Structure 1
């Protein structure tokens, strides 16, 4: 893989591979045809996950315990021919050099094969299976002789596409897997008005037609797969597996998607299109500058993000509208090159307005053509198109077209750098300006984007609603508060946060990846050699300590014992005799590959070289064979794997502590690499908090009423004020109470997401899964000696199902890091409106929390006090 999979992607790929393994067994052993689905919100990395699955299918993957399958043929099916070549390239790009480009083939009208080849991925769109298409012309019909069928086929084609599919499915040595991209399409039930409506093409493919059997395995992928799931459940003789659902909140937490959608609109009815377009253009100029400044700050000026503005127009825009738009943009953006504006209209003709020419560009080319800064579009790019650098949408569509707008926004939510920009809400957002929308329609759009109502049957506008993204109306950017002293900022950067543990962490791979990163960043020369030296020392010790067990395991590998049973025809009895055979080199190498899954293949191979040693180079293959044999035997000894992994954990954690300060001086992209490595552990790890730069907050409600504000927040407007309209009444009371305390000089509204500028606390939920919570507030107190200490104060509702679990996580955090804080307290409001507080720095309180089953009872008990 060219990309490192995110946690949720690893889980999804593992589940898909397990389903495919079971489905193949179900089909070949039991004759069952199988279907299952993968639901992933737009931007979750469907292509990367699919590439990982394909790579494992064809080449195997030790991490997933998946053996390569030489019998598999994959047919990737879409309803859009324009996407085939794009998807083909993106899959190849994601898979890297393990799968050559020749393995990915788009089926065109000249395709003419008896069967689909094993080990390849074919791309086919529904139009090519439509009646009259060259690929299926001359398909079998009742009463037509084979010779007449042949004559009817274009160019005397030997095989129609249906013939090819039939032959592939009927080959017992092949396993055909059909991947339905955007699987909800083509699954609509016939209308009651036309009960005779024929099956859609995709249903004919899946269910079989005209002598072609149903396909053995169907894997549907979509943001909304309900219709697919229902269709598969109702299909005859098809087994359906439980759907694989990617949690949208995990996708949002990964940083792959933009966090905020900012909406601007006129508060009064009127023709404000030119006014808001001018505003949008100024924002684009500012955004371009902000991205350039960020690139310079990070030392990556060679490849800055070039943001794109999309101007969405009605399906039949007037010439006057288009010319007015171009003129307005050019007036506000004097330096905009003449060739920086393009369109993706369906007619593909160049638009000409005197000296102004607007050429057509293919939608899939927009992302990579940084010269295009403004893109005119209708609704053709609402589906099947992603452009991470698109961060501004201004729509001239009428107010009733809210669905088209939400669909398009759903396609432009990818983060341009595939990661969150730490502490900068402005660069983690997409802007939407709606000149023809009133506040009620804007509210409706916001509800769709937040997942509070459906956006339409096809689901193509999915933006991950309910995943933690904010929709901001009348947003304003808060920046560093000049009234906050440097000592407070320094205190913030020193307090601890926690990583989210990985349930399937691999300590040895983590160590080798860390060694590579340290070497790349020139923080530790020859870190890889250092890691191998220490691991080999542990393995040498284990080899000596378990010599007897290793010798026994060697004999077990080398000796194959069996039994021969002879049926006596005269005696009517069974005679059994034992036999023993000596294993050959293939058995040893198979055992060595199994050891590679225990120690990692890289460590196993290098340790074999270490055992042979330079002094034994003359021993050649015999020496290496013996080394492979003893390593394979060592891997079979109980406790060896755990001992080596413990050493890898200690070594990696020691290096991370040693280089912690140096890592903080790296650019954000490299810091993200180390944060990911820190998180690759089965227990929470300490993380540093990065200083926030820009915080975006709503300053008014949808009716234009200004929201309340407070002083002394780390980030503020130019008057030193921070909006608190998102807080409820008792959260606001907590803020006011804390700000009134002696010595409090600043406060911080901790982000609700576990970003790099947030204090996060890991906890185990009621189902035993690791989660993260972000306490609401951090207050900063200055002591008489001038030192500054932080306090966590978390208004903590007792009615939530995970209230006790979160308290336990906060208690464990206080036990580990309490000495670094002034106070760590959880506050809750009781039914009589009284606020009660738990002081988590006290051992007695933590003990009570550990045994608690009811949060409200805990706050009402004697371990809590009035706030």
Structure 2
């Protein structure tokens, strides 16, 4: 059975900012041009798709990538020769629901489909969107085997794609957070992309393009990124969607002092002090938003205790209410993870890597990291989590420095 978009009560459709409209139009026009070339040269459809049919949306965190992509797919309905069915891939399971929620709320003309439950071509309409991870369709696990296998009441996803083509549909693919590429099942996912999906058009989207990984993606998938649509960060700042900048604090001590003071505890204290200052500023202005502090810790080493417990204990010692501290890691995922972004009872979220990509938490102002550096691109992804501007403070944008900047505390000067 097809899934109709379920818009939530109170959802308001956002008017696109100027840069968002320009990005949407550029993506739409690129896909229309590709589709037109394929109609004119049907024998060369696959070559056109591989050589010309891949476009990259490069936009900073908080630019509204999901909104731009969703409105692009909406603008393509009925706007190209033939019909499109879209397969939208996120790198992690947690981002699937976040993406569906955003599309349901802001792109009401798109029908969201469940590839795990609904694999019928007969009911498919132009612009239908299937949202999933690569692991759902191309991994050695039960879920992937299920959707790739025929059942009594439904065909496989391979059958669905083949039947859609027989019914005149073009296949479009959206790869969100494209810097992650195909994820942990890279080879299987690339095989699925090349040999089953065989997309007529592919839209990649990322905040932090990594040319090495893009080249790796092109090689693995046998394609070429032909064009880029680039959104300048200043345009996002000017639109009131991205904070102006960052305040960086690095906790260091001399050799003698380091014997007396725990640098990690000092970093947490600095972050929590800033967090409380922001909380008080919001309260004094009558803004009903509880800020969120993100705390990044190192991976658990073999034979050692999980660092999450150590950090939680130190935070409680600083006076952070235990009930206000939550954690989410790949080893111990919390099923309510994405609800933390909006839960005012949660003031601190401890993580290792799992929050780094795509986590949408506009009430996050402060980040404390005690994790060793993993590279510039990864660092930009982490910092991006605190760069969004909460809708409740946009009317103050560029007027209150405390609210206009993210605050980062590090214990590693590197």
TM over 0.5: yes
Specify which of 40, 50, 59 is matched with residue 40 of structure 1: 59
Contact 1:51 1:92 in 2 (8 A): no
Distance 1:201 1:45 in 2: 30
**For the residues of structure 2 that align with 1:314 and 1:307, how far apart are their CA atoms?**
23
1:185 aligns with 2:163: no
- Cα displacement (A) at 1:2: 0.7
1:354 is matched with: none
Residue 250 in structure 1 maps to residue 235 in structure 2: yes
Corresponding residue for 2:165?
169
Q: Which runs of 5+ in 2 are unaligned?
A: 1-11
Residues 741-760 of structure 1 aligned to structure 2 (within 5 Å): none
How is 1:25-104 mapped onto 2 (pairs within 5 angstroms)? 25-31=36-42, 32=45, 33=49, 34-58=53-77, 67=79, 71-95=83-107, 98-99=108-109, 103-104=111-112
| Residue 205 of structure 1: aligned partner | 192
Q: Distance in 1 between matches of 2:273 and 2:142?
A: 51
1:105 pairs with one of 100, 108, 113: 113
Name which of 353, 356, 361 aligns with 1:379.
Answer: 353
Q: In the alignment, which of 395, 400, 404 is matched to residue 369 of structure 2?
A: 395
Give deviations 1:484-528, integer Å, cap 9, x for gaps.
Answer: xxxxxxxxxxxxxxxxxxxxxxxxxxxxxxxxxxxxxxxxxxxxx
Q: 1:402 to 1:74 in 2, by over 3 A?
A: closer
Determine the structure 2 residue equivalent to 1:160: 156
**1:347-746 pair list within 5 angstroms:** 347-348=331-332, 360=334, 362-398=336-372, 405-417=379-391, 419=394, 421-434=397-410, 436-438=411-413, 441=414
CA distance in structure 1 between the partners assigned to 2:201 and 2:123 by the alignment: 15
Is the partner of 2:289 in helix, strand or coil? coil
Is residue 344 from structure 1 mapped to residue 344 from structure 2 by the alignment? no
Tell me what 2:7 maps to.
none
Greater RCO between the two (CA within 8 Å, min separation 6)? Answer: 2
SS, match of residue 221 in structure 1:
strand
Partner of 1:22: 33
CA contact (8 A) 1:35 1:232 kept: no
CA distance in 2, matches of 1:138, 1:289: 51
Matches within 5 A, 1:845-856: none
Q: Secondary structure at the match of 1:200?
A: helix
Partners in 2 of 1:169 and 1:406 — Cα distance?
40
CA contact (8 A) 1:262 1:431 kept: yes
Q: Kindly state the Cα deviation for residue 156 of structure 1 after the two structures are TM-superposed.
A: 4.3
How far off is 1:52 after superposition? Answer: 1.6
TM-score, normalised to structure 2, is 0.80
CA separation in 2, counterparts of 1:69 and 1:37? 22
SS state at 2:191 partner: helix
Please state whether the residue corresponding to 1:261 is helix, strand or coil: strand
Kindly name which structure, 1 or 2, has the bigger radius of gyration based on alpha carbons: 1
CA distance in 2, matches of 1:200, 1:370: 41
Change (3 A) 1:203 1:284: same
Distance 1:135 1:284, change over 3 A: closer
- CA positional deviation for 1:437: 2.1
> Partners in 2 of 1:266 and 1:234 — Cα distance?
42
CA displacement 1:127-167 (0-9 Å, x = unmatched): 12235555664999xxxxxxxxxxxx464465221121122
State the distance in 2 between where 1:240 and 1:273 align: 43
Deviations 1:247-286 (A, max 9, x none): 2332233221112211222342423222332232222222
Cross-structure match for 1:834 = none
Q: Give 1:321 shift.
A: 6.3
After superposition, the Cα gap between the structure-2 partners of 1:91 and 1:291, relative to the gap in structure 1 and judged at 3 Å, is: same
CA displacement 1:798-835 (0-9 Å, x = unmatched): xxxxxxxxxxxxxxxxxxxxxxxxxxxxxxxxxxxxxx
Distance 1:320 1:216 in 2: 46
User: Retained in 2: the 8 A contact 1:205–1:215?
Assistant: no
Are 2:27 and 1:8 equivalent residues in the alignment?
A: no
Equivalent of 1:306 in 282, 287, 290:
290
- 2:134, 2:141 → 1: CA distance? 10
- The question of whether the paired residues in 2 share the 8 Å contact of 1:47 and 1:90 is answered with yes
Distance of aligned partners of 1:135 and 1:11 in 2 relative to their CA distance in 1, 3 Å threshold: same
Deviation, 1:114, is 4.4
Q: Give, in whole Å, the separation in 1 of the partners of 2:13 and 2:230.
A: 24
1:264 aligned onto 2:256: no
Alpha-carbon distance in structure 1 between the residues aligned to 2:121 and 2:401? 55
8 Å contact kept, 1:387–1:414 = yes
1:130 is aligned to 2:138:
yes
Q: Which among 297, 313, 316 is matched to residue 300 of structure 2?
A: 316
Separation in structure 1 between the aligned mates of residue 142 and residue 32 of structure 2, nearest angstrom: 35
Structure 1 pair 383/115, CA: closer, same or farther in 2 (3 Å)?
A: farther
SS for the counterpart of 2:227 is coil
- For the structure 1 residues 50 and 69, does the alpha-carbon distance in structure 2 shift closer, same or farther, using more than 3 Å as the test? farther
1:219 to 198, 203, 212: 203
Between 370-379 and 110-119, report the one with greater CA deviation. 110-119
2: distance between equivalents of 1:406 and 1:21? 33
Cα displacement (A) at 1:187: 6.4
Give the superposition deviation at 1:241: 4.2
RMSD, matched Cα:
3.4
Per the alignment, do residues 225 and 25 of structure 1 end up closer, same or farther by CA in structure 2, a change over 3 Å counting? farther
Asked if the contact 2:115/2:157 (under 8 Å) is kept, the reply is no
Aligned residues: 381
169 and 79 in structure 1: CA distance in 2 versus 1, 3 angstrom threshold: farther
TM-score by length of 1: 0.40
